Amino acid sequence: MKKLINKPEDFVRESLEGMAVAHSDLIKVNYDPTFVYRVDAPIRGKVAIISGGGSGHEPMHAGFVGRGMLDAACPGEVFTSPTPDQMLEAAKQVDGGAGILYIVKNYSGDVMNFEMATELVRSEGIPSLNILIDDDVAVKDSLYTQGRRGVGTTVLAEKICGAAAEEGYDLSQIANLCRRVNLHGRSMGIALTSCTTPAKGTPTFELGDGEIELGIGIHGEPGIERTNIKSVDEITEILTRSLIEDTAYTRTVRQWDEDKGEWTDVELIDPPLVKGDRLLAFVNGMGGTPVSELYLVYRKLAEICQQQGLQIVRNLIGSYITSLEMQGCSITLLKLDDEIIRLWDAPVKTPSWRWGV
């Protein structure tokens, strides 16, 4: 293992210490329990947006704390869910009196711990809701999830909902917006290589020199097919077609019923893409992929969408959800409307993402 680290057990803490020093004008870090929060939090009357998950996916989520995105982020150890006490203390730190919205990737550990945290936060008298992101079309169920995994749409939801919170949306409005973003987002990824977690010191999985894994998860979970290496155009065609041809997906999600004061199961339907839809196209690097290669992917993606009558009106290209040093990429397509476009274009200023300020 060759990594720029000291001791594996100090990896997450020391990384956060470096981030805090580099961006002291934007964020602060609490270390017991660990969470990252905005320097200007709490903001009175504003819904606070919190997310989190295992470390190793940076800049998600800590790099997105700041104006126009997250109020706080709760990092766990590498590829390990944060704990409910992190989420509770983060909520208490950033609560501005308008409630907390947790944005949660659909992984079993995250789902369980964020649900526990939501109940703890509500017991403190703070209104709170959590919304699951489950946009990975590759795998319906896995060892890590019930239903689809949460991947690329997570970052898009954090940006869009963060902008809505800055505009003064209330908790129920932002929750409904986040559900809509999730329903209209779909993602799929590919791995060319594995990654190595600092604590383990060996690759998470093995790929031969001429092999790739289609439909890989961001923690190195198996995909849908292991196949021989292909050209970037062929790979992009497989990923893009999988997203465009994905049929209506019905999911059962848990939502908080304010009238009953309890969680209830609600069935939501994800409609397929159709000709004329406006899209945000997100080409994401997995940590070890040069941006020049990501533009090769975007080149082919844009060509296919044009052929299918789909209009890419916004894009995002870069490494925003990584898997340590894994080589590979993912593509996310998000169907847009006027409201979501406006919120996407709104100013943002975080350690890893800023425009319009």
92-127 pLDDT per residue, tens: 999 999 999 999 999 989 999 999 999 999 999 999
- Residue 42: its pLDDT value, please? 98
Residue 211's contacts (CB-CB under 8 Å, 6 or more residues apart) are 226, 227, 228, 229
Give yes or no for residue 222 having a pLDDT over 90: no
**Active site residue ranges:** 57, 219
Query: At 319, phi and psi to the nearest 5?
Result: -95, 100
How crowded is the C-beta side of 297, counted as CA atoms within 13 Å? Answer: 29
Conformational region of residue 261, where left means phi above 0, alpha means psi within -120 to 50, and beta covers everything else: left
**DSSP letters of 20-43?**
HHHTTTTEEEEETTEEEEETT---
* Mean of pLDDT over the chain: 94
Is the bond preceding residue 272 a cis peptide, omega within 30 degrees?
A: no
Residue 66 DSSP label: S
- Residue 146: its pLDDT value, please? 73
Report yes or no: 336 and 183 within 8 Å, Cβ to Cβ.
Answer: no
Q: Give the helix, strand, coil percentages of the chain, each rounded to 5.
A: 30, 30, 40
pLDDT tens per residue, range 78-92: 999 999 999 999 999
Give yes or no for residue 144 having a pLDDT over 80: no
pLDDT tens per residue, range 28-58: 999 999 999 999 999 999 999 999 999 999 9
Please list the residues that pair with 27 across neighbouring strands.
Answer: 38
Name which residue leads in pLDDT, 269 or 213: 213
- Residue 173: its pLDDT value, please? 94
Residues 169, 212: Cα–Cα separation, whole Å: 43
- Residue 141: its pLDDT value, please? 66
Is the bond preceding residue 75 a cis peptide, omega within 30 degrees?
A: no
Structural tokens at position 4: 């720029």
Q: What is the mean pLDDT of residues 318-326?
A: 97
pLDDT tens per residue, range 163-185: 999 999 999 999 999 999 999 99
Give yes or no for residue 216 having a pLDDT over 80: yes
Q: pLDDT-based confidence at 142, cuts 50/70/90?
A: low
pTM of the full predicted structure?
0.95
Least confident of 209-223, 256-270, 315-329: 256-270
In the chain, what percentage of residues exceed pLDDT 90?
84
pLDDT tens per residue, range 278-314: 999 999 999 999 999 999 999 999 999 999 999 999 9
pLDDT tens per residue, range 244-267: 998 777 777 666 776 777 777 777
- Residue 145: its pLDDT value, please? 63
In the chain, what percentage of residues exceed pLDDT 70?
97
The top-scoring range by mean pLDDT among 198-212, 220-234, 332-346 is: 332-346
- Residue 139: its pLDDT value, please? 80
